[in-house]
Every structure is written in C-alpha cells, then in structure tokens.
Amino acid sequence: MTANTSDAPARMSIPQDTVAISIQNLNAYYGPKLAVKNVSMDIVRHSVTALIGPSGCGKSTVLRCLNRMHEVIPGAHATGTVQLEGTDIYGPSVDPVQVRRRIGMLFQRPNPFPTMSIFDNVVAGLKLNGRYSRAQLAPIVEQTLRQVALWDEVKDTLGKSAADLSGGQQQRLCLARCIAVKPEVILMDEPCSALDPIATLRIEELIRELEANYTIVIVTHNMQQAGRVADRTAFFMLNDDGTGGLVEYGTTEQIFTAPRDRRTEEYVTGRFG
Amino acid sequence: MSEGNRVLGDGTAAASGRAGPLDHSYVQVRSTRPLTLPDVDVKARAGETAAELSGVQRRRKRVNAIMLGFASVSSLLAIIPLVAIALFVLVQGVNSLSLDFFTHAESDVDAFGIPLGIGNTIAGTVLIVLVACLVGLPIGLFSGIYLAEYGRGRFADVVRFLADVVAGIPSIIAGLVGYALIVIPFGFSAIAGGISLALLMFPVVTRATEEVLRLVPLSLREGGLALGVPRWKVIASIVVPTAANGIVTSMLLGVARVTGETAPLLFTAFTHPYWEWNPTHPVSALTVTIFNYVNDPDPTKHKMAFAGALVLVAFVVGLNLVARLVFRRRLAGRT
Amino acid sequence: MAVVTEDKGNRGLRAQNRLGDRAFEGVTLGFAAVVVLSAVVLLLGILTQAWPALSKVGLGVLGSQVWDPNHDRYGALAFVYGTVVTSLLALLLTGVVGIMIAVFLVELAPPMFARPIGFLVEMLAAVPSIIYGLWGIFVLIPLLIPVEDWLNQHLGFIPLFGGTPAPSGSVLIAGLVLAIMILPTVAAISRDVMAAVPDSQREGILALGATKWEMVRKVVIPYARAGIIGALVLGLGRAVGETMAVTMVIGNDPHVHASLLSPGYSLAAVLANEAGDTVNTLHISALFELGLLLFLISIGLNVLARLLVWSVNRGTARGKRR
C-alpha cells in the first residue's frame, strides 16, 4: 500500500497480470481548456470499478476517454496512454472504430434506435462487421436478451419498435446491444439515473452477473450504488485550478470505511457533494 | 473463483494464462450462460486495434473514406455554379453599363430606333415593388401577429394552412390571377403587377413573423401586462420590437425575391417605354425587359439586357446579404 | 373583510384600454381574414377563368399532344410530359447531392466552415429565375451541345439519347438548370432535419464501433427519413412551378419526344409564352385550365412536403418517448 502524500492520489497496487486497462497520465481537453488532469489508474479485469465524485469533476470525461468517445465532440481531445490488454488505444495508428468494438458503452439515457425493431437493435453492432443471415442472428438475439433478463418480456414482439418499451426495458435492450458484440469492457455512464428504483436494481443485478465475463467501469452519482456493485472505487474531484483529477482509488470497502484522503472522507460522509 | 467458471467461449483466459479476478467477499457472482457462437477471437481483435486490419475492416474504412469524401466535395457542386453565374453576370454586364443606361428611358431612341437606356424599367420595378410592399408587408406582419398572439383553434389553423398554400403557388399563376382579376377589368398597371407580387410576398412574412413572435419569451409579455400596460401595447411596443430582427429579415428576403420575379409581371404590368410614376398605368419592369431584350435579335439590346441583369443581381444579392448577415439568423450545422 | 372601493378615475382608462385591445385584435384579425380571402379569391379566380375550357375540353387536355388554339385543339400532353420529365430529372440529379451536402454541413464541417458554406449554398436560391435563364442560354447550352452530340453519337441507340440535339435547348438542359435551382432547397431542409437528430442516437451507434458514414447511413438518415423525403418533395414542387429559366432553355417545342436531347415544353412555360397573345376566349380559358392543373400539382406537393418535414421537427418520429 502506498503511503498517502497530499498531492499524489492514494492508490493501491494491483498485480499487473490482472489489469485490463491501464490509464497513465491521461489529460482531457475541451478545445483549449484542460478538463481532466493527469489521471493514472489501473482497472482490474472482470471486476466492477466505480468512478464517483461531485458533478462536473470529470468522471464522465475520463470514462469517455476509455473508448475514445471523448474526441467525438468537436474540438475535444486527450493525451496520455490508455492501454487495453497491453495495447495503447491512443497509439498513432489505432482506429477508434476498432477500439469501440472492444469497449462498449451504456449511456445515461437509454438510446435504442427508434427506426429499428428490437431484434435489429440487438444486432446493430454485429451487422456493422459482417453479413449474417437471420438464422445466424436469432440465437444471438435470444441469448443476449436472456442475459439481460429481457427475453421473456419481448420474445413475442421482437419485430416491434424499441420505442414501445419502458425506460428500464430500453436500458436493458441497450445493454443487450452492447454485449452482443462481445466487448471485453463495458463502460457505463450513470446508467440508472433516468430509471425508477426497481429498474435500477435490475440493472445492478445484471452488472454483478456480467462481471464474470466483462470488465465493467461505471460512473455513478449514487454512493450506495457504488457500494452495492463495485469492487473498486475511484474518487474524483475538481481542483482549485478548475481541472478535474483523481483523488483516491482503492477497494470499495476501503474507500467507504477507511478513506485515506481527507477530501474523500468529506465526500463519502456527505459533508459536501 | 476458478478459471473454469469464467467462460467467454473464445479462450482468452486460457490463451494468456492469466490468473482469475480478485476475490470479492461482498458481491455475489452468479454464473452466466456462455455465448457459443463463433466469433473473432480477441487476440485477432487486438491485432486489429494495432493497425493490422482484416479485410472486412479495411473495406469499412475505405467505404467510409469514399462516402465522406464525396460529401465533402458535394458542396462544391453547389458553389461552382454560383460562382460561375456570378462571374458570368459580372463580366457580361460590366462592359455594358454606362450612365446613359440609367438616365435614359426606352423612349429615348437613337437614329436606329434603339433605346439609349432602360432607366425607366428600373423606375418601373421600383414602383411595382413599392406597391407590392405596401400591400403585402402589412398583410404578412399583422396576420403573423394574429397567429402568434391571438390565434387559437380552427380559424387560426385555416389561416396557417392557407398561408402555406398561397406560399406555394408558382409565380406564373400569381400573374395569371392578377391578369384575370385586375387587368381584364382595369387594364395593365403597376398596381396589377404589385398585387401579383404581394401574393408571392406575404405568406412567407406571415409564417416567419409568427415563428419569430412565438420565440419571444412569455415572461416578457407577462412583465408588461403586470405593469398595467394594455395587451395591444405590450404586443406593439414590447413583443414585436424584440422580434424585429427576424421580422425584418423575412421582409427583406421577401422583397429580394419579388424584385427578381419576371413571370407575374409579363401580363400584369406589361410594358411601357416611358418614365412612369403613376401606378395605375402600365410600366416596364427590369426583369421583363431583360427577358424581352434577350429574345430580340439586336445585339445592342443584348448588351443592355446584361447590364440590367447585373444591376438586378447586385440588388437582389445585396439585399440578401444585408438580410442574412446584418440581421443575423441562426444557420448551419449543429451547435 | 376587505372593502373594495371603485376608483372611478381608472374605470374610464380601463375601458379605453379595452377598446385599444379590441381594435388591435380586430385589425390583426382583419389581416388574417385577408389571407383567407386571398387564397379563396385565388382559387375562385382560376376556376372561373378555367371553367369554359373545363366544361368544353375538360380532361381532354391530357389526351392529346395537339395544341392548336386556332383550330380549337387543346391537347396539353406535351406540356405535362415536359413538366414531369424536367422536374423528375432535376430531382434525380439533385437528390443525392443535396443530401450529401446536408451530411457535410451537419456531420463533417467544422462549425467555422459550416456557416459560410451553408450560406453560399442558400445563396443559390436567391438568384432570380431569369438570371438562371440567361446563364442557361449563353453558357450552359453552348457548353453542353458538344456533350449532347457525344451522347447522341455514342448512346443514340437508347431512345433517351436519340433524336437530334437542337440549338434552342433541350429537356436535358432544362432539367440540369432546374437541378441547380432546387439544390439549395433540398440541401437546406435536409440539413435542418438532420441537425434535429439527437446526439444520443449518434453516440449510440458510434459506441458500438461504427464509422462515421455508417452512423449517417444507419442512424441519422433513417431517423430523419421523413424530413428528407419532405425536402425532396418540396424541391420537386419548386421545379414544377419554375417558369422563366425553363422556357429559356427548353426549346419551347410543343411535342413529346422520347429523347432527353430534344426540345420540349412545360406547363409553366406555355403559360408564360401564350398568355400574352391569345387568339380567343377559349384559348385563354384553356390556359387557365392548365394553370389550375399546375396549381393543384404544386399545392399537393407542397402540402405533402410540409406534413413530412413537420413530423420530424415536432418529434413525432417514432421513439420520442417521455
């Protein structure tokens, strides 16, 4: 365990062979403005890592840097290294399109494609990468929908528009869409904030189930949620210079019961945030 | 958790021989059914990220580059004709312009019977457009105010629908109707032409005015009413001036459009080679004159047609620039 | 209990204000009524003028090519054919380009460039019809006659490119000029509807590993589909009603030819050319009947276009829950 110095983020050490994503010196910009400064942390494979912190501290920005979605915004870019299983996704000849095949994303508001049926939504990502017949796709659709516990609810209406589903169902559909391409990592940007409590719990159940096969990084405003689903938690905060940064990173248990940084302690005990 | 329990169907763990995930004591992990369909194995995908793309991925990249490239140059297909037309008008017209062009009417002919200038047509156009403005702009403005401030229910819907219908009439039809309703009983006149143009002008102003007025926040109106200002004054002195930019823009664009119209004037204003300031008389319009002169065998008339075209384009484009740039509107792309 | 006292001084003022309000509302209502009136007068005007021909010739206008007012023969097939062919040709040439321009402006162009380029494209719409006609006569026709000759020589076995190209103009050139004239309409409206597609949709497909073009093709265009079709329909409506540019480059030949390289005629063009000197009252009435036909086609296309575009912009496209 590294001792805490007031300017370096307190972190645990993680065995290198369990690391799926290694972030080193990540800086994210919106145009000329530096939004996130010098983030370094390792994400453990097949576990759930939560990014928590007050609004605007850059956790979503960091998340979006992990699948190179940050640069989709005009003028936005990032520097530093993000290694996915040893390969730097920000390397000079790396195609972001290929990165996003390996790292999937679930968004805050469910965004199924309204012009496609439920069936076509699930296989939307697959169809980008090859021609498959209906016969090949149908089993995948069934299995992924079963995995997200949606199959029984929609198995008779696969041809209908995804727009007719409830919010929770739509989010599970998006999750099915995400895992149908078999990514290694799933990023989730506050996936439950637009959902009711019951739908939220179902998603959290799914996260714990999926953990066995996927590495999951989840941004959440809800500390209780982090406590329920995450193995490890990283706490972010805005610095005095207006940039966001990593304050402390440790096991969820340690962050919430024995935080080493004073700022972490203040946040998790609710003194601000 | 043992390795055997963690199945992905593509043998990542087995291939790389890495240890299983850390032990978590407080989270229950339930086993999941494996996805058994064949898939590209992860190592191959790692290679793809590192720029050794498979055939499918290369094709996707190529198609993307081609189509986006096409999109990027497609704008040129619009800009090239624009520039070509502008240069054409400029080059042809500049040589033919002279002071005589503006100061003489068609009635002033030289020894061969060729007019020395077509200043009367410019004056005629001014007269006709003036009539169109006097008739069309108030209709557009006040009906737009009605729709935004008072219009509820069926009647307003009908007004909106009919404004759209009239907005879509071909200009030649506007001219024909003007011919039937005004020229046949009263003869050719600038007023006939002006009214035909007004038909083309007001619907756009109506819709634009309504749209812009609706954008004025409710709080502004409520503020005025709360101060005890009567409703009509709130509209006239507060709401409309706030929306003035958008309203003026639509009006200027309307004027620019009708100034360039030819077809409605062919048989309403007719032609008249003299300086004419009485709107109840027929007048020559610049656009119609250009059309007639181009069809005339005489090359001097051709030159004058080009000069006229230059003057026309300069005015119309100038008005468009003023409307779009000075009275700024939101344009282009996503914010 | 509060006591309310009547302020007699203000009562007069309020009555005055109410009068002002009533008067103002009345004025605006009046002008709104004028709008309705003008539409009604428009339609009635055309109908009454067209009535003699409607009752005498009626649908016979569509039955024959022979347009001979001096002998009471009013077959407008050539004009309808010309209008349809030139307009469809214009749409064919413009459609894809217009949509791609919209794609460029919305998805590709850096915001700094999108504005001026969008502006320039819209300026194409500001050019008066007669100027297009001039440019068509003096630039396009001389430029394209060798092209037409080439097409005629090498592809003349196809009826579309048969016949003999005439120097006075052709259906092809008219279609080309119309294509340029309606391009800004198609591009601008397509751009507006595409810009209205929510970013969350774009992010959704990109996050699955789609290229930008795949994003456009699979998500943006389908989502904006109704509006894009509306843009195309509106462009078609504009092309149908164009008069001056068409009559100056189409050759004004009142016959149906199979070849695009042959001259032709259009409804709007014949109205412009003949309404000035008609031989008798039936002639002018027949022209009004053609005007009515043109009017109805125009309105139909315009209303259809508005419905389509409206459905996207108001978010009634499938999927806008909450």
Which residues from chain A sit within 8 angstroms of residue C319, using beta carbons? 112-115, 161-163
Question: pLDDT class for A201, splitting at 50, 70, 90?
Answer: very high
pLDDT at residue A180 above 80? Answer: yes
Q: Which residue range(s) make up the domain with A64?
A: 10-108+183-268
Residue in A68, A70, A72, A121 to test binding to C, most C beta-carbons within 10 Å: A72
pLDDT at residue C30 above 80? Answer: yes
Which residues from chain C sit within 8 angstroms of residue B147, using beta carbons? 32
CB contact under 8 A, C294 and B173: yes
Which residue from C110, C218, C319 is facing A114, i.e. has the nearest CB? C319
Mean pLDDT of chain B: 81
CB contact under 8 A, A98 and C201: no
Which residue from C209, C222, C321 is facing A115, i.e. has the nearest CB? C222
Residue A132 lies in a domain: no
Q: Is C3 on the interface with A (CB under 8 A)?
A: no
Residue B292 lies in a domain: yes
The position carrying tokens 């020395």 is B116
Size of interface A-C (CB pairs under 8 A): 85
CATH number of the domain to which B289 belongs: 1.10.3720.10
Distance CA A51, CA A233 (A): 6
Residue A155 lies in a domain: no
Question: pLDDT class for C45, splitting at 50, 70, 90?
Answer: very high
User: B235-269: per-residue pLDDT in tens?
Assistant: 999 899 989 988 999 999 999 999 999 999 998 88
Complete DSSP assignment for chain A: -PPPPSSSPEE----GGGEEEEEEEEEEEETTEEEEEEEEEEEETTSEEEEE-STTSSHHHHHHHHTT-GGGSTTEEEEEEEEETTEETTSTT--HHHHHHHEEEE-SS----TTSBHHHHHTHHHHHTS---HHHHHHHHHHHHHHTT-HHHHTT-TTSBGGGS-HHHHHHHHHHHHHHT--SEEEEESTTTTS-HHHHHHHHHHHHHHTTTSEEEEE-S-HHHHHHH-SEEEEEEE-TTS-EEEEEEEEHHHHHHS-SSHHHHHHHTTS--
Q: Going by DSSP bridges, is the β-strand pair A76-84/A19-30 parallel, antiparallel, or unpaired?
A: antiparallel
User: C208-248: per-residue pLDDT in tens?
Assistant: 999 999 999 999 999 999 999 999 999 999 999 999 999 99
* Over residues C107-120, mean pLDDT: 90
Question: pLDDT class for A130, splitting at 50, 70, 90?
Answer: confident
Secondary element (H or E) of residue C74: strand C73-74
Q: Which of these ranges, A109-123, A184-198, B15-29, has the smallest mean pLDDT?
A: B15-29
Which residue from C31, C214, C295 is facing B142, i.e. has the nearest CB? C31
pLDDT at A8 (0 to 100): 58
Distance CA B228, CA B98 (A): 59
* Over residues C302-321, mean pLDDT: 68
Which residues from chain C sit within 8 angstroms of residue A107, using beta carbons? 200, 203-204, 207
Size of interface A-B (CB pairs under 8 A): 100
User: C255-270: per-residue pLDDT in tens?
Assistant: 898 888 999 999 999 9
CB contact under 8 A, A97 and B37: no
CB contact under 8 A, C319 and A112: yes
Q: Which residue range(s) make up the domain with B275?
A: 99-326
CB contact under 8 A, B85 and C132: yes
- Count of H-run helices and E-run strands, chain C: 13, 2
Residue B170 lies in a domain: yes
Residue B282 lies in a domain: yes
Secondary element (H or E) of residue C73: strand C73-74
Question: Selecting from 3.40.47.10, 3.40.50.2300, 1.20.1260.10, 1.10.3720.10, what CATH number does the domain C59-313 have?
Answer: 1.10.3720.10
* Over residues C47-63, mean pLDDT: 86
Cα–Cα nearest to A203, from A232, A231, A180, A229: A229
Which residue from A18, A87, A129 is facing B21, i.e. has the nearest CB? A18
pLDDT at C320 (0 to 100): 37
pTM equals: 0.86
CB contact under 8 A, C203 and A111: yes
Residue A202 lies in a domain: yes
| % of chain A at pLDDT higher than 70 | 95
Chains touching B, CB cut-off 8 Å, 3+ pairs: A, C
CB contact under 8 A, C209 and A97: yes
Question: pLDDT class for B332, splitting at 50, 70, 90?
Answer: very low
CB contact under 8 A, C120 and B171: no
pLDDT at residue A264 above 50? Answer: yes
Which residue from C30, C137, C272 is facing B172, i.e. has the nearest CB? C272
Residue in C14, C21, C29, C35 to test binding to B, most B beta-carbons within 10 Å: C35
Residue in A98, A109, A115 to test binding to C, most C beta-carbons within 10 Å: A115
Which residue from B6, B10, B50 is facing A94, i.e. has the nearest CB? B50
Q: Which of these ranges, A203-212, B214-223, C11-20, has the smallest mean pLDDT?
A: C11-20
Tell me which chain B residue has its CA closest to the CA of residue C27: B142
User: A229-261: per-residue pLDDT in tens?
Assistant: 999 999 999 998 999 999 999 999 999 888 899
Per-position b or e across A163-177, b if 16+ CB within 10 A of its CB: bebebbbbbbbbbbb
Cα–Cα nearest to C53, from C83, C38, C75, C77: C75
Which residues from chain C sit within 8 angstroms of residue B167, using beta carbons? 302
Which residues from chain B sit within 8 angstroms of residue C97, using beta carbons? 74, 77-78
Residue in A122, A211, A218, A228 to test binding to B, most B beta-carbons within 10 Å: A211
pLDDT at B19 (0 to 100): 30
Distance CA C280, CA C257 (A): 28
Distance from CA of C120 to the nearest CA of A (A): 23
Which residue from C32, C212, C291 is facing B173, i.e. has the nearest CB? C291
CB contact under 8 A, C298 and B168: yes
Tell me which chain A residue has its CA closest to the CA of residue B41: A182
Distance from CA of A172 to the nearest CA of B (A): 16
Cα–Cα nearest to B204, from B147, B145, B141: B141
Residue B46 lies in a domain: no
User: What letter does residue B150 receive in the DSSP assignment?
Assistant: I
Tell me which chain A residue has its CA closest to the CA of residue C203: A69
Which residue from A100, A115, A116 is facing C208, i.e. has the nearest CB? A100
pLDDT at residue A4 above 70? Answer: no
Chains touching A, CB cut-off 8 Å, 3+ pairs: B, C
pLDDT at B334 (0 to 100): 39
Which residue from B71, B169, B170 is facing C100, i.e. has the nearest CB? B71
User: B56-88: per-residue pLDDT in tens?
Assistant: 888 999 999 999 999 999 988 889 999 999 999
Which residues from chain C sit within 8 angstroms of residue B236, using beta carbons? 24
CB contact under 8 A, A87 and B49: yes
Interface of B with A in 1-30 (CB under 8 A): 1, 5-8, 10, 12, 18-22, 24, 26-30
pLDDT at B114 (0 to 100): 81
Residue C102: CA count within 13 A, CB half-sphere = 31
* Over residues A172-193, mean pLDDT: 95
User: B222-233: per-residue pLDDT in tens?
Assistant: 999 999 888 888
pLDDT at B33 (0 to 100): 32
Give the ranges where C57-170 is alpha helix by DSSP (H): 77-103, 111-123, 129-135, 141-155
Q: Which of these ranges, A213-227, B7-21, B115-129, C308-322, has the smallest mean pLDDT?
A: B7-21
pLDDT at C75 (0 to 100): 85
pLDDT at B26 (0 to 100): 30
Residue A273 lies in a domain: no
Count of residues making up chain B: 335
pLDDT at A225 (0 to 100): 92
pLDDT at B39 (0 to 100): 40
Q: And the tokens for C290?
A: 């053609």
CATH number of the domain to which A33 belongs: 3.40.50.300
pLDDT at residue A132 above 50? Answer: yes
pLDDT at B10 (0 to 100): 34
pLDDT at B30 (0 to 100): 29
Distance CA C263, CA C252 (A): 7
Distance from CA of B68 to the nearest CA of A (A): 15
Residue B77 lies in a domain: no
Tell me which chain A residue has its CA closest to the CA of residue B335: A74
Which of the two residues, B272 and C104, has the higher pLDDT score?
C104
Distance CA C175, CA A253 (A): 73
Which residues from chain B sit within 8 angstroms of residue C139, using beta carbons? 84, 88
Interface of B with A in 28-57 (CB under 8 A): 28-33, 35, 37, 39, 42, 45-46, 48-51, 53, 56-57
User: B103-136: per-residue pLDDT in tens?
Assistant: 888 888 888 778 888 888 999 999 999 999 999 9
Question: pLDDT class for B52, splitting at 50, 70, 90?
Answer: low
Residue B50 lies in a domain: no
pLDDT at residue C319 above 50? Answer: no
Number of domains chain B is built from: 1
Question: pLDDT class for B335, splitting at 50, 70, 90?
Answer: very low
Question: pLDDT class for B329, splitting at 50, 70, 90?
Answer: low
Distance CA C171, CA C190 (A): 27
Which residues from chain B sit within 8 angstroms of residue C128, using beta carbons? 259-262, 287, 312-313, 316
* 3 state DSSP class of C113: helix
Q: Is B58 on the interface with A (CB under 8 A)?
A: no
